Structure 1
């Protein structure tokens, strides 16, 4: 049973990563428990707008066993490997390499203390150096293959340099770690010289930051070919919403027509009283028709998925998987039993009034073998909390202290704690849970940590290899 990993990404975002194999079925629910003092509620935040603007995901093939695209033995005989197969292996390695560099550099960026930061930075430089050497050691000689290799090599070299320089630009100031800094700068300079020697990029491209950036974005899309799945997103309930509008309009018109006929019977002839009565009836129609339609729609929409997603292989166009997506604010009474039990056992100081935002994801993977070299699918979903942070108050308080007759003060920032509860459901398995505490202010996630579950609640336990996510 593949499990879920939750990690902080950037200042105000975190990512959820999980893997699925052929034939897997899974329902994953995330419950954001938001204190009411944050000001995030159905009136201030539209769930669908939040999903479109702050939730982004990518779904791709994944393999834990394939470490190099050109492993000796896999490509000994050119007659047994086509150009297309070679490109798929190459893209898989390059894509996973780029994602790994992104993940590792983001984790290093979260370190604030100089000593552990530069240790992690030095270790990251060594890993990058080793992987690039092993990758280039197997450069193909066939012109049909070499073009794809050069594109991937050009992008990985540039991307690694950019991620390392970005880390150094935001590094904690320290005069005691010049060796780590020189190691990083030496690697970046070596990669820049390497690309110049290979003539990967023209002088005009290198001289214009816009051109080099756009070229590398194109390279990124090329190495994603065949690895990242094509997505077809469809909004659900469009016909049902139209039917709801028609039914509500019909009911309102039936009531209005009845009232008009009765008014004409009581007030015979065209009089001022009849005109005023009809005006009042039609005014009430305009007031209540939208309310009735919205009330009916909320009732019908409750618990229904908002979108469906089809995942296709970009090469064969075969359907690899299907997903359903939910998002909405819900009431405490609608929480699943296990989630309610977790919340009921919180410390007394944490039992405050809250709003609950629910995000659900149901996935069904096709019962068919993946392309050669791929063992599973990996989905990464990034959640930005920036829409939450805009409602938070700025910290203006001060803490005073006295020492030897002198009074001093320290400014303190206002922090908020969001509880995140995950629920995983799979066929013939009991629901499993994980709970995280997210501490944030207006500018960043201060801390994201997993919290213990109450006794008797089954946890989401990681499998061997999940740490590589």
Structure 2
């Protein structure tokens, strides 16, 4: 369960996904090496503000290879289950189905080659149609269960249609793939007619984009019930920071009081010289008070986690896991030995001065609090690089060419390369590593590629080989059938 997937999410964001089992104790550290020329440093970017605005994630129950036959088997035996169990199984299926569609459509949207795009779009359309058809074969007859099924069915139908239409609106222009276009449009029309026949949405709701959008957001929150874990985040060090402020104030007042007493002993009586001396003492106190307090706080805070997070089951309110989160700029001398060794053995042309942004998550998962039938959690964290992009320069250079006596020029874009090193520690095992190169400009991530590690460095195992069955929840056009969540 140690595999970690790192890939591009949107134009300027990446995400990493990993799974954790019951009783796991895992720490994952990400080190972003930002070249000095990018201008991203502690003076221009506050790490805590960046974490709040650009890093988001979700933690949910996960079933490895959630095959449709397994889900169908659960639906077939519904009469032996409680209403709450039915709802949880239904929500898990619908949630992972929606996440798979969302993930694969985003990946497909980045494909610019028309031939590959339309081939993948046709496969995506086929699998969506198959999954929806098989899902609907298991519609329950019991009224007490039917309402929950209809909510999920309504949302999945609408969401599939929206993702396919969005892909079509941004599809590469080509007149050679009219059959694929007609196939996708036919599926979208069929889903719209299906919802109309079921009377899932009123005519007033359908005619108002705001109302239909808000209704579907509500349905999405309903299908997340019991699947996505409730998170309680707490800022750490609040009391310690107040103590630091008090200690700083006390030390400064001790020094100031000593100087005042000494000044009164030297300058007897209330004279102009004494008043000026006291003014100078208080001026220096105001100048250095904040600097001294901030310096002391940096020393105390160094290496400490910024936040703690408690993960709860939304149904039972049981604590599923606890996490500690770090984020800060660190100096090269503070890097762990394994990271330092990887950096030392890089190619000479990659050894450029960098600012290092560290983001870490330590997770401790409970032993027996999981939802019945599930033993795995999946964590997905999205990291936006947009706050980095605002500091980057636009390309102004030109490349000149000569052909048959004519000189032409082409503008070139300015690209930057970020090195990302992952460090994974599990229990008492020795740390393992992975290294990625992220090439980006002001508007897009150009490429994310995994780099080789030096000999002797333990490597994080690559993701498992994709399965061949189409009965999984993944809709990936590259053949991968691993469910995404």
Residue 464 of structure 1: how far off its partner (Å): 3.6
Query: Which residue of the partner structure matches residue 35 of structure 2?
Result: 35
Show structure 1 runs of 5+ residues with no match: none
Deviations 1:388-416 (A, max 9, x none): 00000011111001011110001100000
Paired with 1:156 and 1:210, the residues of 2 have a C-alpha distance of 18
Question: What is the number of equivalent residue pairs in this alignment?
Answer: 469
SS in 2 for 1:216: helix
Paired with 1:254 and 1:304, the residues of 2 have a C-alpha distance of 29
Matches within 5 A, 1:251-290: 251-290=251-290
Query: Which residue of the partner structure matches residue 400 of structure 1?
Result: 400
Query: Which residue of the partner structure matches residue 413 of structure 2?
Result: 413
Question: In the alignment, is residue 121 of structure 1 matched against residue 121 of structure 2?
Answer: yes
Matches within 5 A, 1:405-444: 405-444=405-444
> Which shifted more, 453-462 or 36-45?
453-462
Residue 344 of structure 1: how far off its partner (Å): 1.2
Residue 75 of structure 1: how far off its partner (Å): 4.2
Query: Which residue of the partner structure matches residue 106 of structure 1?
Result: 106
Question: In the alignment, is residue 387 of structure 1 matched against residue 387 of structure 2?
Answer: yes
Question: In the alignment, is residue 218 of structure 1 matched against residue 218 of structure 2?
Answer: yes
Query: Which residue of the partner structure matches residue 44 of structure 2?
Result: 44
Paired with 1:90 and 1:75, the residues of 2 have a C-alpha distance of 8
Paired with 2:73 and 2:418, the residues of 1 have a C-alpha distance of 51
Query: Which residue of the partner structure matches residue 449 of structure 1?
Result: 449
Paired with 1:52 and 1:368, the residues of 2 have a C-alpha distance of 31
Q: Report if the CA contact (8 A) 2:114-2:174 is conserved.
A: yes
Paired with 1:302 and 1:423, the residues of 2 have a C-alpha distance of 19
Residue 110 of structure 1: how far off its partner (Å): 1.3
Paired with 1:132 and 1:169, the residues of 2 have a C-alpha distance of 23
Query: Which residue of the partner structure matches residue 167 of structure 2?
Result: 167
Residue 171 of structure 1: how far off its partner (Å): 1.1
Q: Report if the CA contact (8 A) 1:58-1:380 is conserved.
A: yes
Residue 337 of structure 1: how far off its partner (Å): 1.0
Distance 1:71 1:287, change over 3 A: closer
Question: In the alignment, is residue 373 of structure 1 matched against residue 373 of structure 2?
Answer: yes
Paired with 2:373 and 2:125, the residues of 1 have a C-alpha distance of 28
Residue 73 of structure 1: how far off its partner (Å): 4.1
Residue 463 of structure 1: how far off its partner (Å): 5.4
Distance 1:269 1:214, change over 3 A: same
Query: Which residue of the partner structure matches residue 154 of structure 2?
Result: 154
Matches within 5 A, 1:193-272: 193-272=193-272
TM-score (norm 2): 0.95
Paired with 2:66 and 2:385, the residues of 1 have a C-alpha distance of 34
Matches within 5 A, 1:49-64: 49-64=49-64
Distance 1:76 1:407, change over 3 A: closer
Show structure 2 runs of 5+ residues with no match: 467-479
Paired with 2:375 and 2:252, the residues of 1 have a C-alpha distance of 57
SS in 2 for 1:359: strand
Q: Report if the CA contact (8 A) 1:26-1:363 is conserved.
A: yes
Question: In the alignment, is residue 18 of structure 1 matched against residue 18 of structure 2?
Answer: yes
Query: Which residue of the partner structure matches residue 189 of structure 1?
Result: 189
Residue 144 of structure 1: how far off its partner (Å): 0.6
Distance 1:349 1:464, change over 3 A: closer
Q: Report if the CA contact (8 A) 2:152-2:223 is conserved.
A: yes
Q: Report if the CA contact (8 A) 2:54-2:383 is conserved.
A: yes
Residue 230 of structure 1: how far off its partner (Å): 0.3
Residue 68 of structure 1: how far off its partner (Å): 3.9
Residue 181 of structure 1: how far off its partner (Å): 1.1
Paired with 1:210 and 1:222, the residues of 2 have a C-alpha distance of 19
Query: Which residue of the partner structure matches residue 80 of structure 1?
Result: 80
Question: In the alignment, is residue 354 of structure 1 matched against residue 341 of structure 2?
Answer: no
Paired with 1:8 and 1:219, the residues of 2 have a C-alpha distance of 27
Q: Report if the CA contact (8 A) 1:69-1:89 is conserved.
A: no
Q: Report if the CA contact (8 A) 2:319-2:369 is conserved.
A: no
Question: In the alignment, is residue 312 of structure 1 matched against residue 312 of structure 2?
Answer: yes
Distance 1:71 1:256, change over 3 A: closer
Paired with 1:350 and 1:66, the residues of 2 have a C-alpha distance of 42
Query: Which residue of the partner structure matches residue 476 of structure 2?
Result: none
Query: Which residue of the partner structure matches residue 176 of structure 1?
Result: 176
Residue 7 of structure 1: how far off its partner (Å): 1.1
Residue 69 of structure 1: how far off its partner (Å): 9.0
SS in 2 for 1:175: coil
SS in 2 for 1:74: helix
Paired with 1:255 and 1:306, the residues of 2 have a C-alpha distance of 32
> Which shifted more, 72-81 or 392-401?
72-81
Paired with 1:72 and 1:389, the residues of 2 have a C-alpha distance of 46
Paired with 2:73 and 2:38, the residues of 1 have a C-alpha distance of 58
SS in 1 for 2:407: strand
Distance 1:192 1:364, change over 3 A: same
